[in-house]
Structure 1
Amino acid sequence: MDAFDKEIITAFFVASISGETATDIIRRKLALSTEYLEERIDHLVKNGFIEGNRKSLTEIGKNSIRIVLAGGVFDIIHPGHIHTLRAAKALGNVLVVVIATDKTAQKMKNRIPLHNMELRRDLVRSLSMVDLAIVGQEGDIFKSVELVKPNIIALGYDQIHQEKFITDGCKKIGIDVSIARLQSPIPDIKSSKIEHDYGKSIYGI
């Protein structure tokens, strides 16, 4: 299986959650003729990676990719986010990012987010390393985990989640995951600091 087959399988996985068609996702990324794309999908169907209905992955197809799940507020996208998400994507084939709801973001940041959850999702979705961005479920992080069924959950250097809490919660819903704690080369860059420094520069406080 080559890198292009992985792209097709990734698109089918993303489509299973987003509701889009896999072919639309692929064409958004790559300029391909319809004929060539259909030939490659036929090849993957023949080899048991895609179901005969050409709408979903088989178990073999799902198991052929590594799915990475990351999460956060992402109210102000900054270089630390970019580095962390690139590092998360490097751990597997598919990067799914869960965006905190507005209520969760307010609890985490002790303030109302500057951007609502739909806008924050769209901003993260526009990043090249992100395959899918979704808004999380209020009050239960494991609902998103159950939906995505990741192989790896990537935690940022400043995320306070306890790794044992996550692995135990995943086991309760029948999902076996690895936890990756990512490091930032610029840990001093945080959204809260950017907002604070901006306020000082504008208002002189």
Structure 2
Amino acid sequence: MRSKRLQEKNLLQYVNHYKRSDKTIILAGGCFDLFHPGHLEYLHGAKDLGDILIVGINSDDSIQSIKGKRPLFPLKERVAFLSSLECVDHLLVIPDLTLVRAIQIIKPHFFVKGIDYQGKTFPEQQAAKDVGADIKLIGEKKLYSSTQLKKIYER
């Protein structure tokens, strides 16, 4: 299976090509450790906004910083799984805790988060506004949580 993972050094080349071709670029992100139906709905909803979906996937180290534990599935496996999804055009590994740097580099037309962020502030809001990205919250009320699923798995 072909990996859709982009190296940061090649990212701008792809982004500039898509923008010259008048493609709408969407940036989404997440850990995607225990992939569940909510993740799939989120990614399909993001892709429905435009042409090119770039997904920022947290590195193993950034997940450990965010959640306190290593991911159940290592980065290589999470990249392979997301690469198999037709709705995902490219993956970008995010070593940071947020997608701020990715937003600043890509300057997407849309930046998406899950509906569970409604009414909350998040670090990427200002960066998205600064580059003119439209912020969209995708999905329905959160029915699944990777953290909850992991607790069930560990029983």
- Short-chain TM bin: 0.7 to 0.9
Unaligned runs of 5+ in 1: 1-15, 23-55, 201-205
Q: C-alpha deviations, 1:134-186, integer Å up to 9, x for none?
A: 101325532212332211001012358725x43422455xx21110011236x
Task: Supply the RMSD in Å over aligned alpha carbons.
Answer: 2.7
Partner of residue 17, structure 1: 11
Partner of residue 105, structure 1: 63
Higher relative contact order (CA 8 A, sep 6+): 2
Are 1:145 and 2:93 an aligned pair?
A: no
Contact 1:137 1:144 in 2 (8 A): no
Contact 1:167 1:177 in 2 (8 A): no
Are 1:183 and 2:139 an aligned pair?
A: yes
Unaligned runs of 5+ in 2: 1-9
Question: Identity over aligned residues, as a percent?
Answer: 26
Pairing 1:109-128 to 2, within 5 Å after superposition: 109-128=67-86
Q: 1:88 to 1:58 in 2, by over 3 A?
A: closer
In 1, the alpha carbon distance for the partners of 2:47 and 2:115 equals: 15
TM-score (norm 2): 0.78
In 2, the alpha carbon distance for the partners of 1:126 and 1:104 equals: 23
In 2, the alpha carbon distance for the partners of 1:96 and 1:127 equals: 12
Partner of residue 162, structure 1: 121
Q: C-alpha deviations, 1:45-72, integer Å up to 9, x for none?
A: xxxxxxxxxxx738642xx111110000
Quote how far apart the aligned CAs of 1:83 are.
0.7
Q: 1:97 to 1:74 in 2, by over 3 A?
A: same
**SS of match in other structure, 1:71:** strand
In 2, the alpha carbon distance for the partners of 1:118 and 1:129 equals: 19
Q: 1:97 to 1:113 in 2, by over 3 A?
A: same
Letter in structure 2 aligned against 1:192: T
Letter in structure 2 aligned against 1:180: K
**SS of match in other structure, 1:158:** helix
Give the paired residue count: 144
Are 1:199 and 2:154 an aligned pair?
A: yes
In 2, the alpha carbon distance for the partners of 1:58 and 1:68 equals: 11
In 1, the alpha carbon distance for the partners of 2:73 and 2:12 equals: 22
In 2, the alpha carbon distance for the partners of 1:171 and 1:192 equals: 30
Are 1:70 and 2:25 an aligned pair?
A: no
- Comparing 66-75 with 119-128, which one deviates more in the overlay? 119-128
